Chains A and B, each alone.
Chain A
Amino acid sequence: MAASKEPKKYLVGIYDHEDKVVEAVKKVQKDGVKVEEVYSPHPIHHIDTYIGHPRTRIPIAAFMFGATGTILAITMIVFMMKIDWPMIIGGKNPLYPPTMVPVTFEATVLICALGMVATFLITNNMGPGKVEFMFDRRTTDDKYALVVDLEKNTKSAEEISQILIKYGAETTPPPRIVEKS
């Protein structure tokens, strides 16, 4: 645990409706505030593009893992059926291509799926035993949190807080600063 780092400061504004937080994300950025992330109890369509997150590269990872699976399966079949223990089944050549397809397909899908899950868990710092840092526990229930990284913004916490409230953030309690190490 490299915990010696200085904790970063975030400003967390709480919203009580999906539409409010989506509107806030769009308008807050027009007022010059850089939004770090939005936390929601459910997926919100296009919220990543509103925040300005780059597009996910998981399809590229998927393709790579899939290709790995294909190559792995073909190598395996060729080794087993041609090199290690050639077998003639149904009078066909040991490397009869149609018979290779189902295994290749399954291996492709398997490696692709497992690899994608692993990539997703690693990039999001999730997984068994990991405890996700939460800016506000209520985002698992019925609230929406708009998180602003104060270091990436030139505006002060007060100013940003005013802007968040202007676009519908809850005032009781007002947006608060959360430290994350």
Chain B
Amino acid sequence: MAEVHVHYDLNEKYTFTPELKKKLMIGMGVGLVLLILGVILAYAGIGFGHHEAHEAGKAAQEATKHAEGGHHGATPLTRLWANLWLNGVFFTYIAAMGVLFVAIQYVAYAGWSATIRRVAEAFGAFLPFTAPVLLITFFLGGHDLFHWTHHDLYEKGKATYDPIIAGKSGFFFFPLEAGSFPLFWLLRLVAFIGIWYVLYRVLIKNSVAEDYLTDKTDFSYHKRNITIGAIFVVFFGLSESVSAWDWVMSIDTHWYSTMFGWYVFASSWVSALAVLTLAVVFLKEKGYLKMVNENHLHDLGKFMFAFSIFWTYIWFAQYMLQAYSNIPEEIEYWVARHDGLEGVYSPMIVMNVIINFLFPFLFLMTRDAKRKEIFLKITAFGILMGHYLDFFVMVMPGTVKGNGGFFLMEIGTLMLFACAFVYVFATQLSKQGLIAKNHPMMEESLHHSI
């Protein structure tokens, strides 16, 4: 309800201060140290597997469940690969979902988000950093992470021959021989992230070029981006689903869920919205984005609220049908996350629903909560942690089995990735104006009111 037309500084630029750079560098350093420390300690038997019982503080209740039992040879190194893979996938999706947000704003002709578009645009810059992490992790630790990479599964007549996985081999190894080099799988990984990134660069290029227009009625860049956005939305909708099967579902090779693509989408989309909200709120606190008022925040809050419920719907639909029908090939996935594997993951799956559903549902329900920065900050942070946990529960049981847990290695990797993400994000943000000032619907965004 801006009664008086306030003139905002649309030319403002974000400066990535040396202090923040230093802090993030320290954060990455600490993360790396914790990660290495975690690996060393894990080899020494601290914070890993059976030996957790000897450790005083952390996860005592978990440790009691660690009765002697046959783990499937998960070494501390497996846990390192799993952590790298988990964070790589999680942050790839967050980065890609930022691009999706921008693309959707274009395709939907959305005006409200014009002032925060640049913030979402900066997400995609992290894609070229996560893609190598995924590739390197796969080449170094693929055998530990992915059961389907073992070639003896595909040799007929051998005791290890697995007809179910052999039936799925084309999905991984096409056109090569089953059990050799997963060309099709790797090509998809490279192609998906590559195409997302290329489309992202085109979006950015047009978006920045729009800033230098002298003719304010020239919408050609915007129109071009609507086309690119439409292409991205369609391509991403298809490829994200397949990538979720590739990167996450294939860890539990026998298991399948037809909802998995949307499930991963819902989880990472709401995470990206949480990151976007956090970024906008922090930028506002630093004195940027003066034109973003509680109405824009309300929209972001509604997004988080709505997609938290969407995630719950997908998660629950997937869970209930499989838990109720109790088919062996489906239920093994959930057994591993409940009482199986000595129940390591059973508190996590309960926490998953509480943090990702009950917490945002009750916390963000009122209109006032969605309009206050402090509420949004708390919920966004909670949701982000909750969905990291969701990915954790997706990746860990299938890779490190009962040797999982949350200790130095997990904290270190998460810190490393989070600080790197913020670093790349802030660098990208400082490259051009913080506001897409020649956005055709800028006025609408400035007067946005709900």
Binding site for B on A (CB under 8 A): 45-46, 49, 59, 63, 89-92, 96, 98-99, 101-102
Contacts and interface: CB of A to CB of B under 8 A. Distances in A.
A139 to B, nearest CB: 24
B319 interface: yes
Contacts of A101: 316, 320
A90 B324 contact: yes
Given A59-B366, A63-B365, A98-B316, A46 B449 contact: yes
A57 to B, nearest CB: 12
B324 A92 contact: yes
B319 A49 contact: no
Interface in B320-343: 320, 323-326
Contacts of A59: 366-367
Nearest to A102: B320
Nearest to B325: A90
A98 B326 contact: no
Interface residues of B, number: 12
B305 to A, nearest CB: 13
B1 interface: yes
Contact of A90 (B316, B319, B326, B366): B326
Contacts of A45: 449
A44 to B, nearest CB: 12
B365 A98 contact: no
A98 B1 contact: no
A99 B324 contact: yes
Contacts, number: 24
Interface of B: 1, 316, 319-320, 323-326, 365-367, 449
Contacts of A102: 320
24 contacts: A45-B449, A46-B1, A46-B449, A49-B1, A59-B366, A59-B367, A63-B365, A89-B324, A90-B324, A90-B325, A90-B326, A91-B326, A92-B324, A96-B324, A98-B316, A98-B319, A98-B320, A98-B323, A98-B324, A99-B320, A99-B324, A101-B316, A101-B320, A102-B320
Contacts of B324: 89-90, 92, 96, 98-99
Per DSSP, chain B at the interface is: helix
A55 B323 CA distance: 44
A164 to B, nearest CB: 21
Contacts of A49: 1
Name which of B324, B326, B365 has the most chain A CB atoms within 10 A of its CB.
B324
A59 B369 CA distance: 13
Contacts of B323: 98
Nearest to A90: B324
Given A46-B449, A101-B320, 10 more contacts: A45-B449, A46-B1, A89-B324, A90-B324, A90-B325, A91-B326, A92-B324, A96-B324, A98-B316, A99-B324
Contacts of B449: 45-46
A59 B365 CA distance: 9
A101 B319 CA distance: 12
Nearest to B450: A45
Nearest to B365: A63
Nearest to B367: A59
A93 to B, nearest CB: 12
Contacts of A99: 320, 324
Nearest to A45: B449
Closest 9 A-B residue pairs measured CB to CB? A98-B320, A90-B324, A98-B323, A90-B326, A46-B1, A101-B316, A99-B324, A91-B326, A46-B449
B352 to A, nearest CB: 14
